[in-house]
Copies of this chain bind each other. A is one copy, B any other.
Amino acid sequence: MTEPGAASGAPAPVFILVGPQMGENIGACARVMGNFAISQLRLAAPRDGWPNPAAQAMAAGSPVLDNAQVFDDFEAAVADCHTLYATTARPRGMVKPVLTARQAMARARSELEAGMRVGVLFGAEKSGLPNAAVTRASAIVTLPVDPDFASLNLAMACGVMAHEWRAGDPAPDMFEPLADRAGAAEMEGLYAHLQDELERAGFFYPPEKTPLMMQNLINGFARGGLTSQEVRTLRGVIKALTLGRGKARIVRED
């Protein structure tokens, strides 16, 4: 398991495979990323562990594979990312912009130029991305597959995105990325803080609805993004609102 590393070479998105199953696909992703000069591959909890000889065989000597970083889980793999794009074909019932590959990569270009770290998320072969990952993305990317034959190979999805990155449109003039954008780890801190206090307040009712209600709340924050300052402010807001409630005996003794 490795720490999120510094970008090598010119800034490009980081491709993050979430729970990939077959080494062959991981290797083919690394190969096509090398073809289109995207150097940073991350693996969140690859099914068959790491290293994987099948990946090596399919990578055709791509330097991307040797530099791949492996993480225990999704959260660790995205911790330093400022924006995430979730590739998924399935509608998720989330209020979230749906972009073409081209639009997403043009937005990513703006964000990278503004110094942000951009992750593109790819789900496992069978199951796709978990809802928790899609929820944390600022946008969904959907490729225009035929609904009658929609099963796109994982490496092919990486290849299409990689080509769009390399061949794609320049950054749109009008897009103004957030300065000082909060990274995923800061956002997770906010979500955990919020959930904790809302549970204490009996907000989640019935309790089994907690995951869905949190998903909707997180979607709202993830969509537009927050600056680090805004995250700090919001956490101050939560703290202020909860003063004098429940655990606050200590506070009242102040």
Binding site for B on A (CB under 8 A): 28, 31-32, 34-37, 60-63, 100-102, 143-146, 149-153, 155-156, 159-160, 163, 166-167
Contacts and interface: CB of A to CB of B under 8 A. Distances in A.
Contacts of A153: 28, 31-32, 60
Contacts of A159: 156, 159-160
A195 B127 CA distance: 59
Contacts of A149: 34-35, 37, 61-63
A159 B32 CA distance: 11
Given A32-B156, A36-B144, A37-B149, 18 more contacts: A28-B153, A28-B156, A31-B151, A31-B153, A31-B156, A32-B152, A35-B150, A35-B152, A35-B156, A36-B145, A60-B151, A61-B149, A63-B149, A101-B167, A143-B163, A143-B167, A156-B159, A159-B160
Contacts of A155: 156
Nearest to A146: B37
A149 B28 CA distance: 13
A13 to B, nearest CB: 15
| Chain copies in complex | 2
A167 B152 contact: no
Contacts of A63: 149
A102 B166 CA distance: 12
20 contacts: A28-B153, A31-B151, A31-B153, A32-B152, A32-B153, A34-B146, A35-B145, A35-B146, A35-B149, A35-B150, A35-B151, A35-B152, A37-B149, A61-B149, A63-B149, A100-B167, A101-B163, A102-B167, A155-B156, A156-B156
Ranked nearest first, the 4 interchain pairs of A and B with the lowest CB-CB distance are A34-B149, A37-B146, A160-B163, A156-B159
